[in-house]
Amino acid sequence: MATKKNEVATPQNAQLPAELMDEITAEQGMGYSEKSEDSMVPILAILQDNSAEVKKRHSKHIEGAEAGDMIIRSIGRVIKMGQNDPPIEVQPCGFAHMWVEWEGEPGEGAPINQYPFDSRPADAIERENSEGKMEWRMPAGTRLVDTRYHYVNFLEDDGSVMPLVVPFGGSNHTVSRQWTAQMKQFQVPGRPGVKAKSFMRTYGLRTNFNQRGEQSWFKYGVSDLGWVRDPNILQEGLQLFRAVNNHELTPETTVPEEGAQEQDDSTPI
């Protein structure tokens, strides 16, 4: 039987000889880098009506995927977000506001570079696009797209933790700002005047349906779930917090479908 992706080709209940296991575990090194800067953080995205994974005849179609579901494209994982499905629990650990440089037009291009939002390239030019909206372009014609990144730990039902980066663009800019304002209001219990770090609380993240005229789309919704009480989860949050602050993490360069992260606040994503 063929081994599925992300499965180990070993019988489920097989036990390796103790001597071999001792030899393996005593060996120095892991065969892979344990430095956070040598791996990329998977991107979480929202499936829309025109996403490839939703279209039944598309080569990228995923059985059961629907508009409004979340997706981690790098591992082909869809997270259901139907009316009866709960939000996912996330622990926010870092934030970055960037200009992402894209080649090609929305929905067809690819990200090729990024710059801190306060350090937009000096040779960037603001001009009106074909839809009458102002946008920033580089001399070569590439676009600069305003993007907010929230780095989070995804707390799974089985107790495992997965770092993710959630890009907020388009109408999700407002959601990002509201979430940031919410995080700022908390103080460390028993320590008046000491602001709580973002990773000291967890939040429910889900998708919500929106409609404006004949246009409809899904965007994120955030709800507070309270203080983290598990020391292990706090430690996980601290580690990701430090990695983000030390610029040791690189988001995947996964292309959002149909320019989903590229619209301004007045335009549905």
Q: Do residues 249 and 151 make contact, with C-beta atoms less than 8 angstroms apart?
A: yes
- 120 has pLDDT over 60: yes
User: Of 97-111, 170-184, 192-206, 234-248, which gets the smallest average pLDDT?
Assistant: 97-111
Q: What mean pLDDT comes out for the span 107-121?
A: 80
Q: Which one has a higher pLDDT value, 266 or 251?
A: 251
Question: What is the per-residue pLDDT for 77?
Answer: 94
Residue 22 neighbours by CB under 8 Å, 6+ apart: none
- For residue 157, the one-letter residue type is D
Please provide the average confidence, as pLDDT, over all residues in the chain.
83
Q: Tell me the domain boundaries of the chain.
A: 37-259
Predicted confidence (pLDDT) at residue 100 exceeds the cutoff of 90? no
Contacts of 9 (CB under 8 A, 6+ apart): 3
Using alpha carbons, select from 105, 115, 187 the residue that is nearest to residue 149: 115
Match 């996330």 to its residue by tokens: 90
108 band by pLDDT with thresholds 50, 70 and 90: low
| Residue 248: both structure tokens together | 């040791």
Higher per-residue confidence, 261 vs 40: 40
What's the pLDDT tens digit per position in 5-33?
A: 334 344 444 566 788 777 877 877 767 55
Rounded-to-integer distance, Cα 125 and Cα 130, Å: 15
Please answer whether residues 266 and 88 qualify as being in contact, where contact means their C-beta atoms are separated by less than 8 angstroms. Answer: no
pLDDT at 105: 66
- Residue 11: the pLDDT is 44
- Alpha-carbon distance 180 to 56, whole Å? 37
Whether residue 265 is predicted with pLDDT greater than 80 in this model: the reply is no
For 66-88, what is each residue's pLDDT tens digit?
A: 999 999 988 899 999 998 999 99
